[in-house]
């Protein structure tokens, strides 16, 4: 029998332990290297996001749709003033990754408008301020600039390519007609257009771009709802308007299935003296003295009619891309259009220099609430919130230059101011820049 060798056993056990330890050490080292190879990648993204989103406290918080116009008091900060590297082409802000195109300021633009009264035939006489003799021109050299992103200039060529074989329809009151004429003036600099339809009063019209099979139209429907109006073309009324709050105007609803793109809005006509009906029964009125009818106010009627309008759009089988445009503020000072009010300013307001009037505040509140309500059901409607940016342009209206040479001897006794509609060219042209950007993003 061989003698037991304790030293050999100990050596073998030690060697086995050492091998196991070495293998574990190698495995731990490999795992550590794999961990390190991934760890810097995640850490770096985290740091970059922190720097881009939170570190620059000089940047203002983007305003939301529901905020008060008081937020305009904050000085606008352009992208170039920020030390953070932001890709403005993607319309990103530093807070929510999305730019609010309707919060910003008007900046001087030496390039001026892309058309004049000499190069556009479709300017309505009441908005043709240059032809009518307005002496100042500074109002032509301003451009809307959103606070947290770049707004490219409207490209008529790009827009027309998007609209190939399509239709684009504006539905509403005379501000809609004002807007469609602005768009038409810009597009006609790029492409031939034919005037193919108008109603007797030239309030509803349609134009056709034959090379692109594109139709552009405006439909006169100032209430959007069904109304019986006793008023002539000069605004003279013979009886009070009757408005059905639960029925829409057939002039646009019967055509809606053929629309591809729509801009819809109104509001100002709800300030007129009106009797309101639901289920063909009188439910109240606005400004109807002597009628023995309960005064319920314009806000009640406007909310009801907008609710009916948006229900129709959201439930329609035709999912037209629809812009809902908010109310347009006027700039009458020291009176209204019929009590000596005027607008003779020659430059934009800055933030904080003007407050929205009570009526416009009420209308916009109704509009935003009803739009939010409709959005809950899902739709192709987009909010076209031009109210605040328009509020800053008291200089953009025709004023007395709604008529030709208003101070000529033969006109002195009948001078009237228009401080609601916009000169063409003028501030309303910037609405097309915004509309184009919304279509492309």
Rounded CA gap, 323 and 383, in Å? 6
Q: What is the DSSP letter of 152?
A: P
How many other CB atoms sit within 10 Å of the CB of residue 334?
9
- Residue of 173, 385, 418, 433 marked active site: 418
- Residue of 174, 182, 204, 217 marked active site: 174
Rounded CA gap, 45 and 406, in Å? 64
CB within 8 A of 34, min separation 6: which ones?
A: none
**Long-range pairs for 61-65 at CB < 8 Å and ≥24 separation?**
61/95, 62/93, 62/95, 62/96, 62/99, 62/100, 62/103, 62/147, 62/148, 63/100, 63/103, 64/100, 65/100, 65/102, 65/368, 65/383, 65/385
- Residue 418 known to be catalytic: yes
The SS3 call for residue 248 is strand
- Residue 136 known to be catalytic: no
Beta strand extents in 255-345 (DSSP E only):
261-264, 274-278, 281-286, 321-325
Contact status, residue 296 vs residue 285, Cβ threshold 8 Å: yes
| Per-state percent for the chain, helix, strand, coil, to nearest 5 | 35, 15, 45
Residues, the chain: 441
Contact status, residue 420 vs residue 136, Cβ threshold 8 Å: no
Q: What is the largest CA-CA distance in the chain?
A: 143
CB within 8 A of 351, min separation 6: which ones?
A: 72, 73, 74, 75, 76, 105, 392
The SS3 call for residue 53 is helix
Report the half-sphere exposure of 304 (CA within 13 A, side-chain side): 21
Q: What is the DSSP letter of 256?
A: G
DSSP 76-98: P--GGG-SS---GGGT--TTTS-
Tokens coding 125: 């006489």
- Residue of 188, 421, 430, 433 marked active site: 421
- Residue 421 known to be catalytic: yes
Residues annotated as catalytic are 174, 418, 421
């Amino acid at each position: 029998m061989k003698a037991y060798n304790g030293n050999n056993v100990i050596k073998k056990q030690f060697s086995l332990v050492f091998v196991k330890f070495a293998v574990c050490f190698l495995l731990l080292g490999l795992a550590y290297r794999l961990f390190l190879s991934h760890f810097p990648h995640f850490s770096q993204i985290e740091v970059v996001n922190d720097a881009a989103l939170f570190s620059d406290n000089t940047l203002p918080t983007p305003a939301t749709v529901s905020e008060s116009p008081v937020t305009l008091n904050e000085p606008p900060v352009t992208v170039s003033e920020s030390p953070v590297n932001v890709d403005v082409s993607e319309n990103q802000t530093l807070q929510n990754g999305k730019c609010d195109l309707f919060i910003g300021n008007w900046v001087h633009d030496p390039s001026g408008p892309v058309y004049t009264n000499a190069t556009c035939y479709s300017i309505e006489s009441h908005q043709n301020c240059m032809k009518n003799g307005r002496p100042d021109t500074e109002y032509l050299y301003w451009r809307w600039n959103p606070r947290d992103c770049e707004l490219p200039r409207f490209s008529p060529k790009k827009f027309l390519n998007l609209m190939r074989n399509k239709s684009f329809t504006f539905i509403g009151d005379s501000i809609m007609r004002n807007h469609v004429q602005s768009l038409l003036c810009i597009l006609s600099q790029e492409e031939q257009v034919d005037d193919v339809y108008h109603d007797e009063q030239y309030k509803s019209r349609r134009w056709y771009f034959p090379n692109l099979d594109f139709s552009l139209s405006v439909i006169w429907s100032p209430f959007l709802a069904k109304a019986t109006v006793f008023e002539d073309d000069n605004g003279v009324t013979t009886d009070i308007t009757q408005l059905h709050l639960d029925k829409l105007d057939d002039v646009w609803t019967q055509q809606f299935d053929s629309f591809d793109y729509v801009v819809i809005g109104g509001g100002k006509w709800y300030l007129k003296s009106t009797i309101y009906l639901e289920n063909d029964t009188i439910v109240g009125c606005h400004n109807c003295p002597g009628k023995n009818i309960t005064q319920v106010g314009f806000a009640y009627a406007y909310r009801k009619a907008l609710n009916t309008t948006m229900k129709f759009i959201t439930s329609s089988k035709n999912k037209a891309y629809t812009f809902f445009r908010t109310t347009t503020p006027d700039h009458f000072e020291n009176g209204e259009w019929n009590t000596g009010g005027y607008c003779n300013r020659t430059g934009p307001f800055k933030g904080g220099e003007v407050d929205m009037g009570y009526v416009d505040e009420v209308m916009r509140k109704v509009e935003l609430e009803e739009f939010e309500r409709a959005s809950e059901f899902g739709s192709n409607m987009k909010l076209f919130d031009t109210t605040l940016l328009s509020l800053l342009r008291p200089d953009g209206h025709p004023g007395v230059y709604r008529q030709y040479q208003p101070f000529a001897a033969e006109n002195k006794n009948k001078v009237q101011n228009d401080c609601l509609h916009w000169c063409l060219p003028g501030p309303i042209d910037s609405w097309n820049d915004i509309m184009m950007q919304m279509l492309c993003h």
